[in-house]
Amino acid sequence: MLLNISSPPISHRNNNPHFLSTLNHLPPRSKTHLSKSHLSPNLSPFPTQTLRNRPSSFRHNRFFPHGQEERLGLTPRALPGGIDLGSFESVLEATAVLTAIIVVHESGHFLAATLQGIHVSKFAIGFGPILAKFDFKNVEYSLRAFPLGGFVGFPDNDPDSEIATDDKNLLKNRPVLDRSIVVSAGIIANVVFAYVIIFVQVLSVGLPVQEAFPGVLVPEVKTFSAASRDGLLSGDVILSVDGAELSKTGPDAVSKVVDIVKRSPESDVLFRIARGNRDLVVRVRPDKNFDGTGKIGVQLSPNVRITKVRPRNVGETFRFVGKEFMGLSSNVVDGLKQTFFNFSQTASKVAGPVAIIAVGAEVARSNADGLYQFAALLNINLAVINLLPLPALDGGTLALILLEAVRGGRKLPVEVEQGIMSSGIMLVIFLGLFLIVKDTLSLDFIQEML
């Protein structure tokens, strides 16, 4: 799943007070088709199965392209230039959110298959070595070592299966419509889950409404950082940087501060700040990051005041939920457009599962209510990305099924279909491994050792 974390203006309702903006755009993902028997692994940056014979499996891998969190206030951005995992508890909360989304997505595929009487052999949460498993009604349910993905397995091309290859209840032998339902069910499940999450948010905590003020808020200053050494404090509001006024709040103001700091390693930067009722000027000399850019060790967020609005009746509840759902969906689509149309500028902002966990952990640590929007955003993002007609995505499988229908029920040669899916899987593996290394090197405690 590609989570787009781009930068259009913050929505008037979609921000929480301490959703932090970081130097490195984080953020989600994609899906991979596997042949042998595995349907839809998801939320993982790399597939674990190899493609054999005709693809009858679908896998999801998540990457965060540039843009989403900043717009929604859902992306922690550490000005030090690193990714902060936060407390262990917040990491567990973020991991739990991802795991729930995996379970929902895979359950969509699983239920769509079993309710149609299609043979299913495996349902797995995670990848890699099996930690625990049990068998029930000829299906192996397993929990695996790496909880950032999952898959549903089908016995279609399993040489050890006792099911005849011409069995009408094998996925590959089902009509186009039946297979299309199974492939698209994970996407539908994520969309429905996102709507339910927003519905629960509206009823339980209400929707955040923000009032914007000039400047950029400093929610946290890291100990022993340049900012701490030179006198910035948590709660300060940055009004200007090196004479550049921050008359408006939002992602653009945060980015302006970040850009000035990054290009000023070991050079003085003048911050005009508001601290209580006083206006002060603080001179900070950014430390040099491992990549040569400047870092001062603070976290930033738009300077907004948040209140919660609760619906007064059933009609208003559904209006709130619908508006929020459409707003998040629009943000996902807009971020995806930015990623594709400005790829040269956004490629460096793509991030994988390590960064997703970091974002979720920071959201949980800053404001637990933000996990609602974080979870809804991940669900919508996974759904939108997997609709793309690309190899290794659900949309790619649907495209092949549609092509089969157009050809009058004639499938592509196995070698051609296998080649298409294999190329997608290899791309996902390469990208996933690259992002894991990149995101790990961006972790704060790793950077401190470099």
Between β-strands 57-62 and 29-34, what pairing exists: parallel, antiparallel or unpaired? Answer: antiparallel
Q: Which residues contact 227 (CB under 8 A, 6 or more apart)?
A: 79, 218, 221, 284, 296, 297, 298
Per-residue 3-state assignment (H helix, E strand, C coil) for 89-128: HHHHHHHHHHHHHHHHHHHHHHHHHHCCCCCCCEEEEEEE
Q: Which residues pair with 273 in a beta bridge?
A: 238, 280
Catalytic site residue from 69, 70, 93, 106: 106
Dihedral Cα 88, 89, 95, 98, nearest 10 deg: -150
Name 315's Cβ contacts closer than 8 Å, sequence gap at least 6: none
What's the chain's length in residues? 450
Sequence-distant (6+) residues with CB within 8 A of 340 are none
Residues 6 or more apart whose Cβ sits within 8 Å of residue 100: 375
**Under 8 Å between Cβ of 216 and 302:** yes
d(CA 365, CA 362): 5
106 catalytic residue (yes or no):
yes
Please list the active-site residues. Answer: 106
